[in-house]
Structure 1
């Protein structure tokens, strides 16, 4: 009897949670199956009724499924769905960085998530489940617990821009479309007035000051690299008097290079770069004696003299042609 009670205990819990309309059928069925079992007799000894504990357990399982259906409705409604449908459809990544395309799927169950690249009517499979099927090693599936089937694209290039789809293997498939935009930072070296400059003049003994601006950066980055030819200046301690100041107070990053006590050996090409993504350059001249402004002024004077000479020659040519015409008559 004690053994029978132990087996019937789980069934009692199920019965207590059933809707009232299901109770009569369950009671009748229990009476039918256990009516022929006498005291001290096990279910396996009963004959005639075909009753057994296993059949009763099967019945209780079916009843639980019906009860779950009564509570939750049609099981076809419990299909997978995207958690952040409206928030993950447009991604902007910086050229050369790592892009992450999120796809959070709830209630996935036995379905599979895949990523494809759509280019017009062409579709290219990138991942299926946890496996990567792209020949491009930059693509991989980076699953993030508990439900984010995240596509990772390393060292983004301009050709990576386009439409990607996260698909769930339902019938028909559920699709989350993600647009990836690739933005290349703009690097410029500017003068004191903020205008882009490609050449600058300094006097020996003065301080070289080069200002570099970086804009259109979707990902914050503070490391700006300065070079003089092939020589990196950011951590140069051999020359002395070199310093770099970076300001991120606005949406545009400004990096300023200072070189004290300039000499003619400091002349050459200077570059300001953001890794291998974008670079700006300026040609620096360090002059002995003559002030840069005087040099630029002298250059302007030479240009004016050349123009005057051309005008004089044109007038002389016209006069000679006129005299020649008069003699011909």
Structure 2
């Protein structure tokens, strides 16, 4: 110890002989580099210069985290072992969210210490700041930081739109910054109303007194949902108790949801446009005709039969006209 003091004495003497106006700057620089001065002394204390320098010297290899835990780098290794790192080791993450839903982009950071986490949106060479720490800097109210204890700095995007698709970066304020890239994909469900053969249908015919059966399929859904809305015009049918005889059955599989609407004892008033929808995200529709007396098949093929009759009538009239003209010409001779 005495030997160490002998070697350090000249250096301490040089420091103490520096002009007084340079000492605060030296202390300020040291405070920025080592994170603070011990014993309540600050860089602006003109009377505590000796104590401040002593504190700076004694803490040259010791740091303290936000929880008050001290770490001696001289005893436990290099300072790089204390730098923040992402818990998810993959540098790029892909997230798929349904159009209109809430998307969550995770960023789990370990050993953050005094560093700050921020989220930015990258569009080519353009970068837009979304959050810094717990604060949101986006003008779009759909974006917010939802911190999840103990280390997840989660970006939340409500009511996702197609324009939200793209690359986001979670950045930690190290030098250089540590970056975790997240690719957000937005998908829209596909809604179709199908017939008995599974083909998409735009129009259906039923006879009075029969049961209307409309089948709706929803595919390409990254998030499982079972609440499908059926409407007749603007009237919602799922909870209709005034008419009676209305029921909805929903079957889920791994890839497709099938919702079937049943309406018993159909009457002409049940005719009209029916829609199957998944919120405001996607909708399928079909036009229903409830016929009095005439069989639905006759109506479906009626147009073709009428066209054939019209063509036959035209041919008969043409033949008769030709015969009459021929007879008139022979009499004229």
Give the conservation status (yes or no) of the 8 Å contact 2:228–2:276.
yes
Alignment of 1:30-179 (within 5 A): 68-86=72-90, 89-179=93-183
- For 1:39 and 1:171, the matched residues in 2 are separated by 29
- For 1:220 and 1:313, the matched residues in 2 are separated by 63
Residues 45 and 112 from structure 1, CA distance in 2 versus in 1: closer, same or farther, beyond 3 angstroms? closer
Give the conservation status (yes or no) of the 8 Å contact 1:113–1:129.
yes
- For 1:34 and 1:183, the matched residues in 2 are separated by 49
TM value normalised by structure 1: 0.75
Number of corresponding residues: 329
- For 1:161 and 1:174, the matched residues in 2 are separated by 23
- For 2:129 and 2:308, the matched residues in 1 are separated by 66
- For 1:57 and 1:23, the matched residues in 2 are separated by 14
The Cα of 1:159 is off from its aligned counterpart by 0.4
The Cα of 1:193 is off from its aligned counterpart by 0.4
- For 1:16 and 1:253, the matched residues in 2 are separated by 80
The Cα of 1:304 is off from its aligned counterpart by 2.6
Residues 10 and 77 from structure 1, CA distance in 2 versus in 1: closer, same or farther, beyond 3 angstroms? farther
- SS at structure 1 position matched to 2:11: helix
- For 1:180 and 1:163, the matched residues in 2 are separated by 6
TM value normalised by structure 2: 0.74
- SS at structure 1 position matched to 2:218: strand
Deviation per CA, 1:93-134, whole angstroms, max 9, x where unpaired? 000000000000111111111000111111110000000000
The Cα of 1:78 is off from its aligned counterpart by 1.8
- SS at structure 2 position matched to 1:76: helix
Give the conservation status (yes or no) of the 8 Å contact 2:61–2:72.
no
Residues 294 and 9 from structure 1, CA distance in 2 versus in 1: closer, same or farther, beyond 3 angstroms? farther
The Cα of 1:315 is off from its aligned counterpart by 9.8
Residues 23 and 253 from structure 1, CA distance in 2 versus in 1: closer, same or farther, beyond 3 angstroms? same
Give the conservation status (yes or no) of the 8 Å contact 2:27–2:52.
no
- SS at structure 2 position matched to 1:322: helix
Give the conservation status (yes or no) of the 8 Å contact 2:31–2:37.
no
Give the conservation status (yes or no) of the 8 Å contact 2:34–2:63.
no
Q: Which residue of 2 aligns with 1:267?
A: 271
307-316 or 247-256: bigger deviation: 307-316
The Cα of 1:14 is off from its aligned counterpart by 32
43-52 or 117-126: bigger deviation: 43-52
- For 1:226 and 1:274, the matched residues in 2 are separated by 9
- For 2:63 and 2:251, the matched residues in 1 are separated by 69
Q: Which residue of 2 aligns with 1:8?
A: 8
- For 2:34 and 2:182, the matched residues in 1 are separated by 61
Residues 278 and 14 from structure 1, CA distance in 2 versus in 1: closer, same or farther, beyond 3 angstroms? farther
Give the conservation status (yes or no) of the 8 Å contact 1:212–1:256.
yes
Residues 67 and 294 from structure 1, CA distance in 2 versus in 1: closer, same or farther, beyond 3 angstroms? closer
Alignment of 1:200-211 (within 5 A): 200-211=204-215
Deviation per CA, 1:17-73, whole angstroms, max 9, x where unpaired? 999999999999999999999999999999999999999996999799999435532
- For 1:254 and 1:188, the matched residues in 2 are separated by 10
Residues 76 and 320 from structure 1, CA distance in 2 versus in 1: closer, same or farther, beyond 3 angstroms? farther
RMSD over equivalenced CA pairs, Å: 10.2
Residues 238 and 68 from structure 1, CA distance in 2 versus in 1: closer, same or farther, beyond 3 angstroms? same
263-272 or 57-66: bigger deviation: 57-66
Unaligned runs of 5+ in 2: none
Give the conservation status (yes or no) of the 8 Å contact 1:103–1:166.
yes
254-263 or 8-17: bigger deviation: 8-17
Unaligned runs of 5+ in 1: none
- For 1:139 and 1:35, the matched residues in 2 are separated by 33
- For 2:162 and 2:34, the matched residues in 1 are separated by 75
Give the conservation status (yes or no) of the 8 Å contact 1:43–1:51.
no
Give the conservation status (yes or no) of the 8 Å contact 1:33–1:49.
no
